[in-house]
Structure 1
Amino acid sequence: MNTDSIIASSNHQGWPRVSINGAPLDPQTIALEMQYHPAETREEAVFLAAQALVIRELLEQRAAYLGVEVIPQADETEEEAFIRGLLELEVAVPTVDESALEQFYQSNLERFSSAPLVAARHILLAVAPDDVAGRSRVREQAVALLCQLRESPGRFTELAAQYSDCPSREQGGALGQLSSGQTVAEFERQLLRLDEGLASQPLESRYGFHIVLVDQRIEGKQLPFELVSDSIRAELGERVWQKAVVQYIETLIGEAEIEGIVMRGAASPLLQ
């Protein structure tokens, strides 16, 4: 990215000379802020840090102008408390009506159902997550073992006892009944999508490669709207709040005298 058009001026040390309504940004403050804004280049990180500090300064100036007085909550700095108090005072957030909640529910039915229940067995061929060459080799072994099972599915217990690196090999690879939250995320995402029978490909996880046989699958049930309406209201309310805050910050930017940087937008620096 070419930041020349974004950061308008800099001193001989490469720090932008930025001021907000006459208040200059200290280059040391920008340097400290950069740790929170990783980027591909130093110039991009400098810009992101300066942008965040500009928005923070605008909010603090506005809070001081209005005489905002707030007592910090637990784990909240005085600066964070002032910004919270300012937003509570000046940002009007529309309420989310019941029809919007129901529309969101109907448009996202798959999100509001209980997870399926899966009774499965597996054969784990273990390999370290950072062993690239080993992972390639072990995957080939898993595919070869899977081919044997396609020809002789009745040998699953035998092959689990012989090859699996999981203690479940003592029970023929049986994992019992699994649902959401009972195993590592990357394995769970794949497992809960499987139909009954032998999985067509090995499943990869941080532990290695799993050859999986699903003995039984019980589909999840649709959760009623009344049960999930509060969580939907909270999610949509958060979206509405973020949009209102972004619009408020953009208004402050538009009314301010900002020198040394061309602001790209208001969303990410504050809401992160």
Structure 2
Amino acid sequence: MNCSVTNTLPKPKPKTISVNGAVIAREVIAREVQNHPAEKPMLAWQAAARALVVRELLLQESRRLGIEAEPLRDPEGRSETPEEAAMRALIEREVVTPEPDEAACLRFYEQNRARFRSGDLYEAAHILIAAPRSDPAARTAARATADALLLAVRTDPASFAEFARSHSDCKTSAGDGGRLGQLTRGQTVAEFEAALQRMRPGEFAIAETRYGFHVVRLDHHAPGQLLPFELARDRIAGYLATSVRHRALAQYVSLLAGRAEITGITLLVSASPLVQWESRHAAW
């Protein structure tokens, strides 16, 4: 069998995408792709196509209902097109969602208190004895040096700054006696952060990280504070209102899609770029 014959077969043509007979041209989809970054070009193409299907559904429905609206301008002076104005007016009329009440906001606050807590604040200093994990012998030697330094600074805490200047491989902090200043969550590697969480102010300890061994001194710890409900309420209300609106929009588009004849692509409303579409028009 001559396998080269199979290599000359024409590739199947992409399906034509249409909504109730209105074809969405491939060049239009190509222009829309830039608004839908994805890991693979095909995924970006599909997201762009679905966004344009949603747009066509909304446009067709606004025409069916005879909805028109005066184009608005955003704070930067950009103006809506007549079609964008009509789609906005359609959604404002057809997708009405209730504002979250006090009880709903308080319930969300109580169920998600960790979201409204500021991070712990630490003030610490360290002496880094650097050693890569790929070098076991260097790690063993670094650990021995760190153990000796830990014993020395526990015996004479005032010697910490001098040992940092003479022994630390951290060029940023060594000249300042090892001081790292104020630290919050995420500012250091996870292993170092975990060591701080186990310590009490005034204590010394060793933290092993990917960089080596750190002789750590914790100077101060300020626990995070819970933001009062009164200060969090507006943020919660905005979040809940946005969530409800997104769900309502998805349901509305599902309703329109169910009544329409869509060819060439499956419209997955829950995964569609509906939220992106709304965010691009939220400034009006």
Displacement of 1:29 after TM fit? 1.2
Is residue 2:19 matched to residue 1:24? no
Q: Which residue of 1 aligns with 2:175?
A: 170
Displacement of 1:105 after TM fit? 1.2
| Matched letter for residue 59 of structure 2 | E
CA distance in 2, matches of 1:120, 1:98: 42
Give the conservation status (yes or no) of the 8 Å contact 1:52–1:269: yes
Is residue 2:45 matched to residue 1:46? yes
Displacement of 1:37 after TM fit? 3.3
Displacement of 1:39 after TM fit? 4.4
SS at match of 2:269: coil
- The correspondence of residues 103-252 of structure 1 with structure 2, limited to 5 A, is 103-123=107-127, 137=134, 145=142, 148-153=145-150, 154=153, 157-158=161-162, 160-161=164-165, 162-179=167-184, 185=186, 187=188, 191=193, 194-196=197-199, 197-198=204-205, 200-202=207-209, 211=214, 212-252=216-256
Give the conservation status (yes or no) of the 8 Å contact 2:68–2:86: no
CA distance in 2, matches of 1:158, 1:20: 74
Q: Which residue of 1 aligns with 2:73?
A: 72
- Percent sequence identity is 35
Structure index of larger Rg: 2
Is residue 2:91 matched to residue 1:87? yes
CA distance in 2, matches of 1:268, 1:198: 51
SS at match of 2:188: helix
CA distance in 2, matches of 1:187, 1:97: 40
Moved more, 38-47 or 62-71: 38-47
SS at match of 1:152: helix
Give the conservation status (yes or no) of the 8 Å contact 2:132–2:138: no
Displacement of 1:229 after TM fit? 1.3
Displacement of 1:177 after TM fit? 2.8
Give the conservation status (yes or no) of the 8 Å contact 1:120–1:174: yes
CA RMSD of aligned residues (A): 3.5
Q: Which residue of 1 aligns with 2:258?
A: 254
CA distance in 1, matches of 2:70, 2:17: 28
Give the conservation status (yes or no) of the 8 Å contact 2:127–2:174: yes
| Matched letter for residue 110 of structure 2 | Q
CA distance in 2, matches of 1:14, 1:83: 32
- The correspondence of residues 1-16 of structure 1 with structure 2, limited to 5 A, is 14-16=13-15
Q: Which residue of 1 aligns with 2:6?
A: none
Displacement of 1:158 after TM fit? 4.7
SS at match of 1:15: coil
| Matched letter for residue 195 of structure 1 | R
CA distance in 2, matches of 1:139, 1:115: 35
Aligned pairs, how many?
A: 247
CA distance in 1, matches of 2:117, 2:230: 13
Unaligned runs of 5+ in 2: 1-9, 154-158, 277-284
| Matched letter for residue 272 of structure 2 | S
Displacement of 1:17 after TM fit? 0.2
SS at match of 1:28: helix
CA distance in 1, matches of 2:264, 2:16: 5
